[in-house]
């Protein structure tokens, strides 16, 4: 897995059983700043790589998943209004999940309401749920490596 970046352009170059592939990063064309620290990968039977970049105070991300040696793009894009987007195996199924910290406030407002939103990359993907709202990002479980317990997740927006 190799991240190739340029001004307003980003690509991921992969290799594997399906041969070499190049994926254009849609978040780069959305204005996300991508650099060498933008790539996070978790190698496992189902490998997952997240590329993330900041744009207008938020973090955009997109995910590539390797199953049976072939890489494919997962749901795009992921958005974190709380400036934290990372991979963690929250539901303990051996496949990394996407954890996005969100601000429970209007954009640009001084905010003291934060929660983590978790997305699964297995079983068709989708939202696993959200943590309860807390008064600071530092109060989220596991901060600075946000790792919610699955039993703490509730339906988002409920």
| pLDDT per position as a tens digit, 26-59 | 898 888 999 889 999 999 999 999 999 999 889 9
Q: What is the pTM (predicted TM-score) of this model?
A: 0.90
Domain ranges of the chain: 2-152
pLDDT band at 94 (very low <50, low <70, confident <90, very high): very high
pLDDT of residue 16: 73
pLDDT of residue 108: 67
pLDDT of residue 107: 67
Q: How far is CA 151 from CA 21, 75, 132, 139, in A?
A: 38, 24, 11, 17
pLDDT of residue 115: 97
User: Is the peptide bond preceding residue 118 cis, with omega within 30 degrees of 0?
Assistant: no
What mean pLDDT is reported for the chain? 90
pLDDT of residue 1: 81
Residue 86 has pLDDT above 70, yes or no: yes
Q: Report the DSSP beta bridge partners of residue 60.
A: 53, 79
Q: How far is CA 132 from CA 29, 108, 152, in A?
A: 33, 22, 7
Condensed to tens digits (0 to 9), the pLDDT of residues 102-121 reads: 999 876 677 889 999 999 99
pLDDT of residue 110: 77
Architecture of domain 2-152: Beta Barrel (2.40)
Q: Is 63 helix (H, G, I), strand (E, B) or coil?
A: strand
Overall average pLDDT of the 135-143 stretch: 95
């Amino acid at each position: 897995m190799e991240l190739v970046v340029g001004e307003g352009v980003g690509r991921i170059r992969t290799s594997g059983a399906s041969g070499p592939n190049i994926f254009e990063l849609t978040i780069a064309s959305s204005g996300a700043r991508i650099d060498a620290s933008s790539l996070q990968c978790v190698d496992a039977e189902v490998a997952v790589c997240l590329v993330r970049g900041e744009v207008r105070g938020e973090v955009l991300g997109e995910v590539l998943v390797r199953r049976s040696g072939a890489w494919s793009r997962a749901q795009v894009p992921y958005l974190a209004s709380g400036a934290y987007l990372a991979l963690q195996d929250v539901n303990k199924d051996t496949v990394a999940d996407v954890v996005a910290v969100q601000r429970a406030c209007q954009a640009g407002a001084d905010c003291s309401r934060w929660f983590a939103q978790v997305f699964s990359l297995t079983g068709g993907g989708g939202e696993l749920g959200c943590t309860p709202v807390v008064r600071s990002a530092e109060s989220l479980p596991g901060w600075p490596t946000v790792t919610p317990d699955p039993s703490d997740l509730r339906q988002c927006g409920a």
